[in-house]
Amino acid sequence: MMGQATEEKQELRRGLQPRHIMLMAMAGMIGTGIFKGSGDTLNIAGPSVIIAYLLCGLILFVVMVALAELAMAYPGLNIQHLIHKAFGFRTAIIVGWLYWINWMIVTVVEILAAGSFLEYWFPHTPLWILSGLCGLFIIGINLFQVKMYGEFEFWFAGIKIAAIICFIMLGFLILLGIIPTHVQPIKNLFGYGGFFPHGLSGIVQAFLVVIFSYGGSELIGLTVTETRDVEKTLPKVIKSVVFRVALFYILPITIICGLMPWNSVSATQSSPFVQVFEAVGLPGVPQLMNFVLLTAVLSAANSGIYATTRTLYSMAERGEAPRFTRKLTSHGVPIGGLALTGSFLVIGVFLAFLVKDQIIVQLMSIPGFTISIVWIAICAAELKLRPAYSKTPFFHMIGFPYTTIIGIVALSAIFISFVFNPANRVGSITCFVIIALLVTASMLMKNRKTSEHAQEK
């Protein structure tokens, strides 16, 4: 009995301050998606990718408001709890594990991207070695108590936010001619096949990487069990979504398109942010920018480790994940989930050893699928649970249910376009295999629990 009581008292510590959550939410979407993935989106859609970032930003806002409303209506419940409450055990297993897989792949991508940025200085060192060292560094940080994690992420997030702001300011000074260069902004934006070089299909195809880029904002839905003053903090964070999209994506992409021809941006070499300053010939700036980008993707990987371990812990509480993933250290860190996550990081680094070329691009396509499904589930949960509220929260979806339905339809349309795009064949097959395995597992776990309950009777 005593052992059982001790186990029941184990819980995550509420060590995250409002300032931690604000910076985590602002920085959650700043990682490989913008610093590395922007090269892919520019190659896919050209300057018109700006429209793709804007449209997906509006969808993101709908998802975030739905999540915040649910968190206000059911205090203390994170994403997994809310999905379970709305749709039951089986759906919670599928969405919960899908979310874990999403963040696991994202974390692997961030670690590989960190290794690729280190290649800028160590071109003769294999990617898998550099990425492995980055993975060990991030695992080490997450062994600290959550307050220390929040503090580390606060400063890492601050660095990359400050870097993007400096990039925007410096970019505008060059575009306006205040810093003299050979740049021709109008020609770069409209002179190489026009603003829509690949037509409307280019914008649609870019949605996959854009959705991947925005994935991470919903991370605050996992922090509610470790956050103080959630009711005051969460609405402020959600309201800043549109501002963050404009500041961290639309403005930098616009500047990149103005500073160099979109078709000269390489998706396989260094970050477009570094390539821009190399192209305009500013001495020393590419080195500094590469260092900032390295800290940025390490920060994103840090968030990924947090998300995966907390997701596993949340699911283990309800018997939807292995029991060992609920094991905590004396500081309240989910050591079981950290061990499982770390083992998959090793697999990701091994993939970099086997197939270095295109590994990051191929892995980036999978979270685009998974995060779309998770976002659809969040909106659907709001539709399902809204009638059951004891009272409507003061912070809620305007135009409900039409706004939420539009969000679901838009996400579903994007998902379908992913599936029928031949370029996404690997990601499509991988995603459907994962879903099939999760559906099968959920059915087996449901049947097992039902039989156990019958035996008890």
pLDDT at position 405 over 90? yes
> What pLDDT score was predicted for residue 456?
39
pLDDT, one tens digit per residue, over 52-101 is 888 888 888 888 888 888 877 887 777 777 888 888 888 888 888 888 88
Please determine, for residue 363, whether its predicted confidence score (pLDDT) is greater than 80: no
Mean pLDDT, residues 326-331: 78
Higher pLDDT pick, 305 / 183:
305
Please, what is the average pLDDT of the chain?
77
Cβ 360 vs Cβ 112: under 8 Å: yes
Mean pLDDT along residues 31-37: 68
CA distances 112 to 29, 309, 357, 363, 430, Å, are: 17, 20, 11, 10, 19
Under the banding of pLDDT at 50, 70 and 90, the label for residue 23 is low
389-394 contact pairs (CB < 8 A, 24+): 389/73, 390/73, 392/73, 393/69, 393/72, 393/73, 394/72
pLDDT of 19: 56
Q: pTM of the full predicted structure?
A: 0.77
Phi, psi of 65 (to 5 degrees): -65, -40
Task: Flag whether pLDDT at 209 surpasses 80.
Answer: no
Average pLDDT over residues 162-167: 82
**What is the mean pLDDT of the segment spanning 20-41?**
65
Mean pLDDT of 353-358: 66
Per-residue pLDDT band at 453 (split at 50, 70, 90): very low
Which residue did the predictor score with more confidence, 224 or 128?
128
Domains plus CATH for the chain?
14-451 (1.20.1740.10)
For the stretch 91-138, pLDDT in tens is: 888 888 888 888 888 888 888 888 888 888 888 888 888 888 988 888
Give me the helix-helix angle, 37-45 and 359-385, nearest 10°: 90
Q: Please say whether the beta carbons of 61 and 237 come within 8 A.
A: no
Q: What whole-number percentage of the chain has pLDDT above 70?
A: 78
Peptide bond into 47 cis (omega under 30): no
- Residues 239-243: what's their mean pLDDT? 68
Query: In the prediction, which pLDDT does 407 show?
Result: 92
